[in-house]
Structure 1
């Protein structure tokens, strides 16, 4: 004879495990218009980080906020100035000012850096503020009819030189220190923040120094040695930079990154 369990046996319905929400691993997107000033006389709207962030170097990083444009005040799209908060600066996190255009529809991100790494910023911590700005250029004819949309961080900048990354372009690079010059083949890479020379190609009698800064790549985080100030010449254009000394693949003598390409006018 088979007996069924009585309804009273077992957990109550409200005690049973519930199905997880479909968005438990993601933060909710917030419309910029949902932001509120802290007080009745506040000029800015606070922005908080949507993820945990750890600064391992002093390089600037983009921090997502989960807030999306456009920003509207009294039903009108307006721009905004992104600036830091005094409490954040005291912690050692410095926010780089930026402009949010009135037609920007992407995620608002905060560009920040710290001179005292490592520094950890917890999710939900208020790190910056938006100061709304009216669009005073509305009646001035623009250079282009395209809208900003979701693109940001220099996406409409002037292109003086376009690099086709598919061809992995290389250039002749002259490196000069104390009136001595070496010539190498440099790989142009707009995906690299810093320019690098391999230890094998850095002259042994030229000085180098240890540093707490590192280079982050596919292989992880690597501490780098630094060169003194040297002169780099590419296509008859010269500029002074400090290179990182880090091992590179055998076929690469030096890697020319954004710190040099940006000064040459390369689209980043």
Structure 2
């Protein structure tokens, strides 16, 4: 059983981060870090959770940010993160849960830092500073749509192999979070077969 680490790593403390944190045991590969504020995870999406830890690590060390096993058992999934040696801002964890809503109180030890020495030989003459989450890369647009009062729409084509009038065209409202497509019965070709569904749509993106 691991003992909790009670050393604070707040921005007001002097010295590098690793000098302010104590490992739980002599053989520990990492040091625990806790949440800086209470957070409510209200969906299955990934949330950015601030930790009571600020870079740099010290001694030119980088670190992996991974979840503690005790947090994982409770349903707190901490996604793997990488903290560079020249990062000097507040560290955040990328957190999700399969069973929202979930409240994580302030001071909860949900993750640990596993330090390592980088062996990258060629680097640009640039310091990361307190920039994180895509700071060193240019902005990228993966998908765009014109926003109107009725919401983003696009021209859709639906087809059914082997059916008469095998293809129809209609305008549809986009919802990137939806896992089903909803089509008005009036737009459904009468020649196309229908199958009785075992579930019914309930609210936004849900079934019951």
TM-score relative to the length of structure 2: 0.68
User: What SS class does the counterpart of residue 70 from structure 2 fall into?
Assistant: helix
- In 1, Cα distance between equivalents of 2:39 and 2:64: 22
Moved over 6 A (4+): 167-172
- Provide structure 1 residue ranges, at least 5 long, that are not aligned to the other structure: 1-26, 187-193, 212-222, 228-268
- Residues 1:183 and 1:226: Cα distance change in structure 2 (over 3 Å): farther
- In 1, Cα distance between equivalents of 2:106 and 2:201: 33
Corresponding residue pairs, total: 172
Q: Where does 1:20-59 land on structure 2 (aligned, <5 Å)?
A: 28-29=10-11, 32-33=17-18, 34-59=20-45
* Equivalent residue number for residue 11 of structure 1: none
* 2:49 counterpart (31, 50, 63): 63
- In 1, Cα distance between equivalents of 2:147 and 2:126: 30
The answer to whether structure 1 residue 151 and structure 2 residue 139 are counterparts is no
TM-score relative to the length of structure 1: 0.54
User: What SS class does the counterpart of residue 225 from structure 1 fall into?
Assistant: coil
- Residues 1:210 and 1:57: Cα distance change in structure 2 (over 3 Å): farther
User: What SS class does the counterpart of residue 109 from structure 1 fall into?
Assistant: strand
* Equivalent residue number for residue 83 of structure 2: 100
Contact 1:209 1:225 in 2 (8 A): no
Contact 2:155 2:172 in 1 (8 A): yes
Contact 1:64 1:108 in 2 (8 A): yes
Q: Where does 1:175-214 land on structure 2 (aligned, <5 Å)?
A: 175-178=156-159, 180-183=168-171, 195=176, 203-205=183-185, 210=201
* Equivalent residue number for residue 174 of structure 1: 155
Spell out, residue by residue over 1:180-231, the C-alpha distance to the aligned partner (whole angstroms, 9 max, x if none): 4434687xxxxxxx7369xxxx6323799546xxxxxxxxxxx62369xxxx
- In 2, Cα distance between equivalents of 1:134 and 1:100: 11
User: What SS class does the counterpart of residue 105 from structure 1 fall into?
Assistant: coil
User: What SS class does the counterpart of residue 100 from structure 2 fall into?
Assistant: coil
* 1:119 counterpart (102, 126, 132): 102
- In 2, Cα distance between equivalents of 1:225 and 1:89: 26
Contact 1:78 1:135 in 2 (8 A): yes
- Provide structure 2 residue ranges, at least 5 long, that are not aligned to the other structure: 1-8, 161-167, 189-196
* 1:129 counterpart (112, 132, 135): 112
- In 1, Cα distance between equivalents of 2:51 and 2:22: 15
